[in-house]
Copies of this chain bind each other. A is one copy, B any other.
Amino acid sequence: MNSSIEQKTRVGVLNDYLSVDCVIFGFDFNQLNVLLVDRVMVDELTGKELFNDLTLTGNHIYEDEDLDEAAARVLFDLTGLQDIYLEQFKTFGAPDRIKRENDRAWLAANGRDPDKRIVTVGYYSLLATDKVTLEWKGRNVRWTPVAGVRDLAFDHMDIFQEALVALRKKLLREPIGFELLPEKFTLSQLQRLYEVILGVELDKRNFRKKVARMKYLVPLDEKQKGVAHKPARLYNFDRDLYELNRKELLDFAI
């Protein structure tokens, strides 16, 4: 446990009816992953495991915390991850969102009334898995392939699925993927990034036609080194050019 963790350890009153849930997507060149937490409930008398399932990284918020602050703190507490950009995407508050037996038992065991509605504010984020180190803080938090997520506790399956839709929509509209690539990258790497996040296979020729229109994607006078195959050209994402290009959306303005 490092000093920054201790700095963030806090006391205070938790709000019983308000939580945040973070859907943390982790990219690697093989697959898209999501950060899940093991939830294990044990019979206090017998020590027998009653159930063992998975949740998103989430928790209740402190009374003196803002929503964004709570999301960052919850994520940090569970994983040690800091300074992660978290995007609030939707709030979930159906009166019956906590209806399953495991969820009711879990809440009761944690001193909460399972009949009381808990509203949760959903956040998502996208990281490169190899750029982060997870610190397990008593509970098991781990990357799970998105394609393999079958069931989650509470309504976390809905939250996860809506976050995935929001992430994919954003990728098709904004250049959010480039931070996951090396500073200089090949078009094959870029294509793989889109394929992994969108969960589709892309046709190489069509993909290259599309990216040729992205003016902020700058071909460099440089090629890959130390590869067995024919070295490919390297590219660079120019954020200034992107911002300029984005303003062109409005360039019809006087």
Minimal Cβ-Cβ distance residue in B for A201 = B254
A48 within 8 A of B: no
- Chain B positions within 8 Å of A110 at CB level: none
Asked whether A93 lies within 8 Å of B121 as measured between CB atoms, the reply is: yes
Contact partner of A95 (CB less than 8 A), chosen from B66, B94, B254, is B66
Chain A: interface residue total (CB-CB under 8 A): 36
Complex Cα gap A119–B65 (Å): 12
Say whether, besides A93-B121, A119-B119, A254 and B203 are in contact (CB < 8 Å).
Answer: yes
Say whether, besides A200-B250, A252-B207, A254-B201, A90 and B88 are in contact (CB < 8 Å).
Answer: yes
Asked whether A254 lies within 8 Å of B202 as measured between CB atoms, the reply is: yes
A117 within 8 A of B: yes
The residues in A between 66 and 104 inclusive whose CB is less than 8 angstroms from any CB of B are 66-67, 88, 90-95
A51 within 8 A of B: no
A196 within 8 A of B: no
Say whether, besides A94-B66, A95-B66, A206 and B251 are in contact (CB < 8 Å).
Answer: yes
Q: How many copies are assembled? A: 2
A187 within 8 A of B: no
Minimal Cβ-Cβ distance residue in B for A168 = B250
Sampled A-B contacts (29; CB under 8 Å): A15-B117, A17-B17, A17-B18, A18-B93, A18-B119, A61-B93, A63-B95, A63-B117, A64-B95, A65-B95, A66-B95, A67-B92, A67-B93, A67-B94, A67-B119, A88-B91, A119-B119, A173-B173, A198-B250, A200-B253, A200-B254, A201-B253, A202-B252, A202-B254, A203-B252, A203-B253, A203-B254, A206-B252, A210-B252
- In order of increasing CB-CB distance, the 3 nearest A-B pairs are A206-B252, A91-B91, A67-B93
